[in-house]
A and B are shown apart, each in its own frame.
Chain A
Amino acid sequence: DAGVTQSPTHLIKTRGQQVTLRCSPKSGHDTVSWYQQALGQGPQFIFQYYEEEERQRGNFPDRFSGHQFPNYSSELNVNALLLGDSALYLCASSLSRSETQYFGPGTRLLVL
């Protein structure tokens, strides 16, 4: 049973660029959440997708956007990258009415 997978594992970008991160949920899960984990901090909720729509959103600017596909996989897009966007981006999957989230290994983004 495959768990949550994310790609790429690492990414280096420069300020002002755009980035797309990808996530495939755990088998049987239909909901995907994204979190940002800055160095030395706990994860911060970005948003959650269910039925291809954004269901919940945290305190992140509109530069952060997402998408969910019919197969439940998801993308996180960040535009106009800032140095402060450097972090580990975690994807978590769950069942639609469950509070329990299972996390992937993350994508480490470095913005130079």
Chain B
Amino acid sequence: AQSVTQPDIHITVSEGASLELRCNYSYGATPYLFWYVQSPGQGLQLLLKYFSGDTLVQGIKGFEAEFKRSQSSFNLRKPSVHWSDAAEYFCAVGRGDYKLSFGAGTTVTVRA
């Protein structure tokens, strides 16, 4: 069975500072990898995805993520956060069977 781990439950970052959110997965082959963002009371918005090819992928809102096969990781980064980036972030994994497995999420708080 595959699982997704987001080690950080909550991260607080200052506006303008950089942000990195961690995601580790357990799966034998290379999975399909996603990052979603959820604002309070809202659904999930797709930030970016990785299927194959270049291991550094760019997404919306200035986010990027890097796939590292050797570490089974897919960490999300943003060089300079804005107050509007305060939200919950979910890493998700698919293995080609059309269903996604999600991590427990990381809540990001942005302080002025």
Contact B36 A103, beta carbon cutoff 8 Å = yes
Interface membership of B102, Cβ < 8 A: yes
> How many angstroms from the CA of A112 to the CA of B102 in the assembled complex?
27
Interchain CB contact (< 8 A) of A99 among B36, B44, B51, B90: B51
Contact A90 B101, beta carbon cutoff 8 Å = no
**Interface-lining segment among A11-19, A38-46, A65-73, A78-86:** A38-46
Contact B46 A102, beta carbon cutoff 8 Å = yes
For the complex, would chain A's binding face be called helix, strand, loop or mixed by DSSP majority? strand
Interchain CB contact (< 8 A) of B98 among A56, A105, A106, A108: A56
Contact A94 B44, beta carbon cutoff 8 Å = no
Contact A106 B101, beta carbon cutoff 8 Å = no
Contact A56 B99, beta carbon cutoff 8 Å = yes
A-side interface size class: 20 to 34
For the complex, would chain B's binding face be called helix, strand, loop or mixed by DSSP majority? strand
Contact B42 A99, beta carbon cutoff 8 Å = no
> How many angstroms from the CA of A44 to the CA of B97 in the assembled complex?
15
- Residues on B with C-beta less than 8 A from A103 are 36, 43-46
Interface membership of B96, Cβ < 8 A: yes
What 0/1 pattern do residues 69 to 87 of B give for CB contact below 8 A with A? 0000000000000000000
- Residues on A with C-beta less than 8 A from B13 are none
> How many angstroms from the CA of A48 to the CA of B97 in the assembled complex?
10
Interchain CB contact (< 8 A) of B99 among A41, A45, A105: A45
> How many angstroms from the CA of A58 to the CA of B44 in the assembled complex?
19
Contact A43 B102, beta carbon cutoff 8 Å = yes
> How many angstroms from the CA of A48 to the CA of B98 in the assembled complex?
8
Q: Write 5 A-B pairs (CB below 8 A) sorted by A numbering.
A: A31-B98, A35-B100, A90-B43, A100-B49, A105-B42
Which residues of B are at the interface with A, using a C-beta cutoff of 8 A? 4, 32, 34, 36, 41-46, 49, 51, 90, 92, 94, 96-105
Which residues of A are at the interface with B, using a C-beta cutoff of 8 A? 4, 6, 31, 33, 35, 40-45, 48, 55-56, 58, 90, 92, 94, 99-106, 108
